[in-house]
Structure 1
Amino acid sequence: MTVNPFAQPSTLPYELPPFDHISEDHFRPAFRDGMAHHEQELDAIATNPEPPTWENTIEALERSGAELRRVSAVFFNLLGTDATEELEAIAADIAPQLAAHTDKLYLNEQLYGRITAVTPPDDPESRRLHDHILRQFRRHGAALDAEDKQRLTQLNERLSVLAEQFTHNLREETTRLAVAFERDELQGLDEGHIASAAEDAQALGKTGYVIPLGLPTVQEEQVALELPASRARLYEASLQRGRGANGQVLVEITQLRAQRAELLGYATHADYVIAEETAATTDAVRTMLFDLSPAAATNARNELKLLVEAAETAGDAEADGAGAGASAVTVTDADRPFWESKVRERDYALDEAELSHYFPLRQVLVDGVFYAAHLLYGITIIPRTDLTGYAADVDVWEVLDEDGAGIGLFLTDYYARPSKRGGAWMSTFVDQSELLGTQPVVVNVLNITKPADGSQPLLSLDTVTTLFHEFGHALHGLLSKVRYPSFSGTNVPRDYVEFPSQINENWAVDPTVLRHYARHADTQEPIPDTLVNAIHASRQFGQGFATSEYLAAAVIDLAWHSLSAAEAQNLTADDIDAFEQQALAAAGLEVTPRYRSTYFAHVFGGGYAAGYYSYLWAEVLDADGFAWFTEQGAAGPDAEAARMRAAGQRFRDVILSRGAADDYAAAFTALRGRDKDITPLLTRRGLRGALP
């Protein structure tokens, strides 16, 4: 085996990992060495005979663990995007070791004593960092006695194993449950999608055509599939994920999280998590969710009536055996996306199949996503064909500032493959830090079906919005300008991290940006005004269901993590369905959640436990924040380039560049000139009057 590539910083531009020289054999020794070297660094800080100072304690702590950061960044990115049996075996072995290593850091009494004794420099970022580190040590058990510290370590190790097991089970079942179809069952899908389904079948060793499952409950293909039976098969497969393998896993995770929260002095895991979020209290989150749920549920029921009417008119629905005088047509959750598209076409002249022809992937990315970022923030994004990513379809781009100076690298990994987990996300390989002298290397990941003929995929408006959303996260990482790595980019609370990404979604349909990138894939004709008007006219339609399915998932997440240790103790996998139904009934919600518990990777396999509410919490900031852009004349049909650039620079300076270095509420107030207002969100989602 060659010299371990993680032992030293990469010599490639911006310390891009040398993917061509990294093999699976490198990871185990790199983790072993990385943890050992980090422990040596921590021991040197803790036992330093010199009096504790900012430089020899806090900044030394911020500098420590570089080798471990490098291997972790590459390994966990690959685990999500190119998982193999060996990588999953390494993850299962390394997860409890990393948990134990983290506990050694936070439970080190000598180190904690030195941190407590340090007086920070008299500047806001340093004082904020000192408070942050002290709080993190206390929240990780630094003040516990020896017996409780041992119990905490046991809980953390077991939880790390369970989270990895949940994710592994979900990946396996998502692959296993991919739905096989005959050609005539795929009526409604375009030829490119059908050809991709044939390729997916071959990749999975199956005959015919296979549609892989996406992460949410509702699958993208339900919009186009014309046969109710095909829609139902796809939807039912989605609902089955994790029901066997993950039931007891998620119950044990819930129980152990509740026990850990109690050990650390909190009533529930939700209280433990939300204490560090901008929401501050579980009651504040519950109030928001429960206040919005009745209006969203009412809107969803009203929307369903329109869908049933459309299905009755078309005569293409299944009878449900209703009694005399009742409707003989049922529009199920499997059918809802299909009939929503028909109502949009009927009532708003929005043909979603036609619309997708104006959204070829590369065109949307370069002439839309990158163009908007240039108008707003002055940055230019150019391909770096001399640099390689970790997979064949991963492109590397360089991000340049207005003066031509390099900012960082941006990797794009947009195509689905069997080895990739579902969903869309942003991650980093290198974080920006003035202390470390590092510039960001950021990746965006989606799961777009790759056309078999090599053409550019045509995107739905939802996928276009996701592309802008994830690039909003990327901007948060790329435009970071802080001293300390702990505060870099997206290292912020969950209910704030979605603010920049959701702000960036708005530019997908802003007229100035939309008309620049939306050109027909075949003719290059610009998108007609009729379609642009239809997009804007139809934006509130479907929000009742969309909001309800999101709220349902957030309510279930909060319910699981609002259990005390005693309440969680007697739960079993057999209780999951009833538990979900009780939680939804309490909120007045009647829809299937965006994620059922057994495939809710955000909260049982990822970092959103008791935090899935954060998307809506951040959307309050987003809706109000984008209203600010409009007030500056930087959005809308009459937006001028100079106004967009000035407003974008202000947003960059106050929000994007500051990461966690500034108080979040103060930063928003500095941008908006006042505290946040929920009214723009209610207007956007058609929920005016929802709050008392």
Structure 2
Amino acid sequence: MYDVAEPSTLPFQLPPFPQIRTDDLEPAFLAAMAEHQAQVRAIADNVQEPTLANTIVELERAGTRLVRVSSTFFNLTGTCSTEALRAVEARVVPALTAHYDRIRLDPALFARIDAIARAEAAAPTLTGEDAQLLRRYHLDFVLAGAGLDEQGRRRLAELNEQLSTLTTRFGQNLLQATEAAVVVVDDVAELDGLSPDAIAAAAAAAADRGLTGKYVISLVLPTGQPLLKVLRNRDVRRRLFEASVHRAEGGEHDNRPLVLQIATLRARRAQLLGFATHADATVADQTVGSLAAMDEFLGRLVGPAVANARAEAELLAAAAAADGVDKLAPWDWAYYSERIYTERYQVDTAALRPYFELERVLTDGVFAAARGLFGIELVPRTDLVGYHPEVRIWEVRDAHGEPIGLFLGDYFAREGKRGGAWMSSFVDQNELMGTPPVIVNVLNIPHPAAGEPALLTLDELRTLFHEFGHALHGLLSRVRYPRFSGTNVPRDFVEYPSQVNEMWIFWPEVMAGYARHVHTGEPLAAAVVDSIRAAQLWGEGFATVEYLAATLLDQAWHRLGPDDVVPDVVEFERAALAAAGIDLALVPPRYRSTYFQHIFDGGYSAGYYSYIWSEVLDADTVDMITENGGLTRANGDHLRATLLSVGGSVPALDAFRALRGRDARIEPLLRRRGLDRTG
């Protein structure tokens, strides 16, 4: 039996994945929680006067074994889920929630933290990261309910345990519902429009399910399915669209009851903590500051976005009518949008895929941009083994050749892997424990046929750069305390650095390196690149509306009071979007409630607005970098010193001001999305 809680002897403390068995995980959790509880008890019972060193820094040191088990376990449940792992998860998550509640709701422990905060407020002595650590710990405990009386603490712990159980079940339901909701096609003629490699992949997916001779189209997490752009058969498009929007909306894996329960319990918890709604509780710890500020910001976007989407719809309806389609349907939008995009801008996105081969994009695009900015190199470590045969590992070295961490890439879709794309960590950088970072990027690119290269769509290309932006935030972290490492920043700030990294996709010297034909090596023609740039505003009406619809749906669920009754999830969605003025039948939300994993089994509840809120900072920063020469070490060093290396060790907007020299302005975002004009 391998003890998952023990420090790994592998380079950078990479977990020894071949030695880890499912049966090892639950005992490791239980032992690590017991040890952590004993460590915290000793801190709380310390008779010495509370100080930063003997209380808060000791809390930072405590629980390292539990962190080690948790990071390994939750990375595995997200990428290699099995029935056995899901059973362990169902038992462990509530236990883990109760464990952390015992810590955060410990009155003796909070009394020590509160005493330090009061003393510091009366006579400040702390500076820099130490001062920020005290502020964060005190706020964390207050928002966790540490100031409640005994009855309130007990009730809060009950609510948290219930929520952990329900959100875990939501995620497991969604995974299984998505795997079950594939579209099976009998005749290859119905796949007209798909590339040969996509058809081969669909045949392979069918064979994997025992459906030899048929074809299977699997679903990605968002509403919009990539193949809707190219499938010529309208009925197959309809089937694919409906499979997507009705996931987990009935049957064995119905998430509708869970949505209602989660929203109600979150409202009750917020009220217990002294907030009107869960959304109010969430923004108390975010850079947006208040719901009023959020509403004012979103209000500036909805009207122009809807107007742009309606203008796009008129063009699409005319194109569809030319094909004899009397009424444009939601499953037609992507197909006719792609046609107009191709005809108007002379860009065939399907024809672009041979120029975006995964290996070359990684090496000569994503990694090359990071090298140009930060001087880092990613060197393959074929001697190290990942958690799945498809996982690849690189050692990250600085400009002097010194190793600074490990990067893992897990790029292909498979059963047992949740949808979407994300960055996570196995080990967080921090000087207190002396640990360098071990960071992972996870995507869900469809498998190419055996022996064929993996070719990316434009969306997948963007996702690759985006997620590596998150990875850089973790890899370049240089903080003392684990609490501040890498992406441990406010939720509405965390997407900002990753979105900035998307700017290199079309940067000439970067694109010249990676955008080459997979077979001939010929670079993508300059005229095509110019057309892609010229076309960047096409479809922004749809893209902004589908995103804002999901954002406003998130807010609607999380602005409910504990006594509000929602009889029907689907009707609630419709009414919420109508009230927000964004109920376009042709443009469904990016995520509907039953598969909105970000908010019902993720960290974005009442916080999905953060992507576009962060984009204000991103667009302003891209302007600054562009104005100052683009891909230069000077820009990279400035970005690294003021933003990426500091993690959460300084207030988030202070980090932005240090980078930009002023507060953010919204105008660059409005220009980027075409919201400074309509039509």
Of 413, 418, 421, which aligns to 2:415? 418
Aligned residue in 2 for 1:104: 102
> Is the aligned partner of 1:681 residue 2:669?
yes
Q: Is the 8 A contact 2:52 2:134 kept in 1?
A: no
Question: Post-superposition shift, 1:587?
Answer: 2.1
* 8 Å Cα contact 1:426/1:474 also seen in 2: yes
Q: Distance in 2 between matches of 1:295 and 1:228?
A: 30
What is the one-letter code of the residue matched to 2:372?
A: L
CA distance in structure 2 between the partners assigned to 1:238 and 1:346 by the alignment: 28
Pair 1:611-2:607 in alignment: yes
Equivalence for 1:194: 199
Partner of 2:146: helix, strand, or coil? coil
- Is 2:653 the counterpart of 1:665? yes
Which residue in 2 is equivalent to 1:656?
644
Gaps of at least 5 residues in structure 1 are 319-327, 636-643
Larger CA deviation: 288-297 vs 524-533: 288-297
CA distance change for structure 1 residues 524 and 86 in 2, over 3 Å: closer, same or farther? same
The match for 1:294 among 303, 319, 327 is: 303
Q: 1:527: how far off? A: 0.8
CA distance in 2, matches of 1:381, 1:42: 39
Give 1:397's aligned amino acid.
W
For 1:564 and 1:558, the matched residues in 2 are separated by: 12
| TM-score for both structures, normalised by structure 2 | 0.96
CA distance in 1, matches of 2:2, 2:318: 67
1:146 aligns with 2:150: yes
Correspondence list, 1:371-386, <5 A = 371-386=368-383
Judge conservation of contact 2:2–2:19 (CA < 8 Å) in 1.
no
Matched positions, count: 664
SS at match of 1:565: coil
Could you tell me which amino acid in structure 2 is paired with residue 614 of structure 1? S
Q: Deviations over 1:582-632 (max 9, x none)?
A: 221122211210000111000011110000000000000000010000110
Question: 2:284·2:290 contact (CA, 8 Å) conserved in 1?
Answer: yes
**Which of 434, 458, 463 pairs up with 2:460?**
463
Give the whole-Å Cα distance in 2 for the aligned partners of 1:51 and 1:189: 70
Deviation per CA, 1:122-167, whole angstroms, max 9, x where unpaired? 3211111101101111111111111111110110000000000111
**Partner Cα distance (1:206, 1:145) in 2:** 59
Q: Letter of the 1:204 partner, please give it.
A: R
- For the residue of structure 2 that corresponds to 1:427, the secondary structure is strand
CA RMSD of aligned residues (A): 1.2
Q: Secondary structure at the match of 1:667?
A: helix
Q: 245, 251, 272: which is aligned to 2:260?
A: 251
Matching residue of 1:321: none
What is the aligned partner in structure 2 of residue 597 from structure 1? 593
Return the offset for 1:7: 3.2
Q: Distance in 2 between matches of 1:528 and 1:631?
A: 25
Which structure 2 residues correspond to residues 200-599 of structure 1 after superposition, within 5 A? Answer: 200-207=205-212, 208-244=214-250, 245-313=254-322, 315=323, 317-318=324-325, 328=326, 330-567=327-564, 570-572=565-567, 575-589=568-582, 590=584, 591-599=587-595
Q: Which segment is superposed worse, 301-310 or 220-229?
A: 301-310
Residue number among 103, 123, 143 corresponding to 2:127 in the alignment: 123
Question: Using the alignment, how far apart are the partners of 2:300 and 2:622 within structure 1?
Answer: 23
Q: Which residue of 1 aligns with 2:42?
A: 44
Alignment check: 8 A CA contact 2:425 2:440 kept: yes
Structure 1 residues 214-234: Cα deviation after superposition (integer angstroms, max 9, x where no partner): 000010111111111111111
Instruction: State the alpha-carbon separation in 1 of the partners of residues 302 and 249 from structure 2.
Output: 26
Distance in 2 (CA, whole Å) between partners of 1:450 and 1:689 is 40
1:18 paired residue number: 16
Q: Distance in 2 between matches of 1:566 and 1:450?
A: 47
Shift of residue 178, structure 1, vs aligned partner: 0.9
Residue type of the alignment partner of 1:624 = D
Correspondent of 1:158 among 156, 162, 167: 162
Cα pair distance change 1:645/1:8, threshold 3 Å:
same
**Could you tell me how far apart the structure 2 residues matched to 1:533 and 1:450 are?**
30
Q: Distance in 2 between matches of 1:95 and 1:670?
A: 39
Three-state SS of the structure 2 residue aligned to 1:335 is: helix
Q: Give distance in 2, aligned partners of 1:409 and 1:129.
A: 26
Structure 1 CA distance, aligned partners of 2:454 and 2:321? 33
Distance across 2 between alignment mates of 1:57 and 1:660: 20
Tell me, in whole angstroms, the C-alpha distance in 1 between the residues paired with 2:274 and 2:285: 14
Task: Report what 1:170 is aligned to.
Answer: 174
Q: Which position in structure 2 is the counterpart of 1:80?
A: 78
Give 1:220's aligned amino acid: P
* Separation in structure 2 between the aligned mates of residue 8 and residue 243 of structure 1, nearest angstrom: 42
Q: Is the 8 A contact 2:25 2:73 kept in 1?
A: yes
String of CA shifts for 1:386-437, please: whole Å, max 9, x gaps: 0010001000001100011111000000000011111000000000001110
Partner SS, residue 365 of structure 1:
helix
Distance 1:598 1:92 in 2: 19
Alignment of 1:626-665 (within 5 A): 626-634=622-630, 644-665=632-653
Q: Which deviates more from structure 2 when the two are superposed, residues 152-161 or residues 505-514?
A: 505-514
Q: Secondary structure at the match of 2:305?
A: helix
Is 2:490–2:652's contact at 8 Å kept on the other side of the alignment? no
Contact 1:294 1:587 (8 Å CA) reproduced? no
Match status 1:136 vs 2:171: no
Amino acid at match of 1:651: L
**Aligned equivalents of 2:269 and 2:524: distance in 1?**
54
What per-residue deviation string (whole Å, max 9, x for no partner) do you get for residues 336-382 of structure 1? 11111111111101011111111000100110000000001111111
Q: Distance in 2 between matches of 1:556 and 1:312?
A: 32
Q: Report if aligned partners of 1:602, 1:612 keep a CA contact under 8 Å in 2.
A: yes
| 2:625 matches 1:620 | no
CA drift of 1:683 comes to 0.4
Scaled by the length of structure 1, the TM-score of the pair is: 0.94
What letter is aligned with 1:205?
G
- Please say if residues 355 and 531 of structure 1, whose CA atoms lie closer than 8 Å, have aligned partners that are also in contact: no
- Quote the Cα distance in structure 2 between the aligned partners of 1:211 and 1:150: 47
Q: CA offsets per residue over residues 437-481 of structure 1, 9 Å max, x none?
A: 011000000001111223221111111000000000000000000
Instruction: Give, in angstroms, the shift of residue 566 of structure 1.
Output: 2.1
Alpha-carbon deviation of 1:689?
5.2
Q: Which amino acid letter does the alignment assign opposite residue 291 of structure 1?
A: R
Q: Which of the residues 66, 69, 74 maps onto 2:67?
A: 69
SS class of match (1:366)? helix
The residue that corresponds to 1:638 in the other structure is none
SS in 1 for 2:335: helix
Counterpart CA distance in 1 for 2:219 and 2:497 is: 28
Distance in 2 between the 1:419 and 1:204 partners?
14
| Contact 1:398 1:408 (8 Å CA) reproduced | yes
| Matching residue's letter, 1:189 | L
Most deviating of 508-517 and 211-220: 508-517
| Distance in 2, Cα, partners of 1:215 & 1:453 | 24
TM-superposed deviation, 1:290 = 2.5
1:49 Cα offset (Å): 3.0
Give the distance between the partners of 1:175 and 1:518, measured in 2 at CA: 33
Alpha-carbon distance, 1:93 to partner: 0.7
Q: Secondary structure at the match of 1:355?
A: helix
Secondary structure at the aligned position of 2:440 is classed as: strand
